[in-house]
Copies of this chain bind each other. A is one copy, B any other.
Amino acid sequence: MENLELKEKILNAIQEKNSSLINEIFVNTPAIDIAETLEDVEDVTKLLYIFKVVPSEFSAPFFTELTNKQQQLIIDAFGDKQLIELLDHSFADDVVDSMNEMPANMVNRILKVAPSDLRTDINRLLNYKEDTAGSVMTTEYIEMKKDISVSDAIDKIRKNGREAETIYTIFVRDNTRTLIGTVNLDDLIFAQNEQTLEEIMNRNYVYVNVDTDQEQVAEMFKRYDLNAMAVVNRENKLCGIITIDDVVDIIVEEATEDMALLNKTAPMEQKYLDTPLFTLVKKCVPWIIVLMVLEIFSSVILSGFQSEIAKFSVLSVFTPLIMDAGGNSGGQTTTIIVRSLALNEFNRGDVKKVFWKEFRLSVIIGLIVSVFAFAWLMFEMATGIVECHAEIGLIKIDNDWIVRLCVAGLVAITLFIVMIFSRLVGCSLPFIAKALKRDPAVMCGPLMTTIVDVIALLSYFLVWVLCFGPILGL
Binding site for B on A (CB under 8 A): 1-2, 27-30, 32, 154, 157-158, 161-162, 167-168, 185-186, 189-190, 203-204, 206, 221-225, 227, 244-245, 247-249, 251-252, 255-256, 258-260, 262-265, 268, 271-273, 277, 280-281, 284-285, 287-289, 291-293, 295-296, 298-300, 302-304, 306-307, 309-310, 313-314, 316-321, 323-325, 328-329, 331-332, 334-337, 339-340, 343-350, 353-354, 357, 360-361, 364-365, 368-369, 372-373, 376, 380, 385-388, 392-394, 449, 453
From B1, B162, B260, give the contact of A336 (CB < 8 A).
Answer: B260
Cα A399 to Cα B338 in complex, Å, equals 50
Is A296 a contact of B265 with CB atoms below 8 Å? no
Is A354 a contact of B259 with CB atoms below 8 Å? no
A interface secondary structure, majority: helix
Given A319-B316, A332-B263; A299-B248 close (CB under 8 Å): no
Is A354 a contact of B273 with CB atoms below 8 Å? yes
Is A324 a contact of B295 with CB atoms below 8 Å? yes
Is A273 a contact of B345 with CB atoms below 8 Å? yes
A122 shortest CB reach to chain B, Å: 21
Cα A277 to Cα B271 in complex, Å, equals 39
Given A1-B347, A204-B27, A449-B324; A360-B277 close (CB under 8 Å): yes
Is A387 a contact of B204 with CB atoms below 8 Å? no
Cβ-closest chain B residue relative to A358: B280
Cα A157 to Cα B188 in complex, Å, equals 12
Cα A50 to Cα B452 in complex, Å, equals 50
Is A302 a contact of B277 with CB atoms below 8 Å? no
Is B298 a contact of A348 with CB atoms below 8 Å? no
Is B260 a contact of A300 with CB atoms below 8 Å? no
Is B321 a contact of A320 with CB atoms below 8 Å? no
Residues of B close to A289: CB separation below 8 A: 368-369, 372
Cα A243 to Cα B345 in complex, Å, equals 24
